[in-house]
């Protein structure tokens, strides 16, 4: 006579396993959705980082230009101050 208790026990186990598989599929779908959202967010952050880096480079170049301009203006001011400080030779004619 076949062992009927084995079949009886296997059916609830199979149903429980199917429920577990369904739950895990749901979890996988949710995780894939979250991963997709995070990947999109990372992509947006990369774009923003690139834009920020480019802006920093532009501002650094502008600061360098202004420093050079200030250096030239300082040299010109020193030259003009030296010209004013020199005694003027007045020749009487």
Structure confidence by residue, pLDDT tens digits, 33-72: 999 999 999 999 999 999 999 999 999 999 999 999 999 9
For residue 2, the surrounding DSSP H or E stretch is none
CA 52 to chain centre: 8
| pLDDT for 1 beyond 60 | no
Q: What is the model's pLDDT at position 38?
A: 98
Q: What is the model's pLDDT at position 91?
A: 63
Q: What is the model's pLDDT at position 14?
A: 86
Distance of alpha carbon 1 from alpha carbon 84, whole angstroms: 124
User: Tokens for 93?
Assistant: 């004619």
Distance of alpha carbon 19 from alpha carbon 11, whole angstroms: 12
pLDDT averaged over every residue in the chain: 88
| pLDDT for 9 beyond 80 | no
| pLDDT for 90 beyond 80 | no
Distance of alpha carbon 60 from alpha carbon 63, whole angstroms: 5
């Amino acid at each position: 006579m076949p062992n009927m208790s084995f079949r009886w026990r296997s059916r609830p186990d199979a149903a429980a396993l199917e429920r577990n598989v369904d739950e895990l599929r749901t979890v996988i779908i949710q995780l894939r959705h979250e991963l997709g959202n995070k990947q999109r967010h990372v992509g947006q952050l990369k774009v923003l980082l690139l834009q920020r880096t480019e802006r920093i480079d532009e501002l650094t170049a502008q600061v360098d230009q202004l420093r050079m301009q200030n250096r030239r203006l300082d040299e010109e001011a020193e030259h003009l101050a030296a010209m004013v400080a020199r005694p003027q030779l007045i020749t009487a004619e």
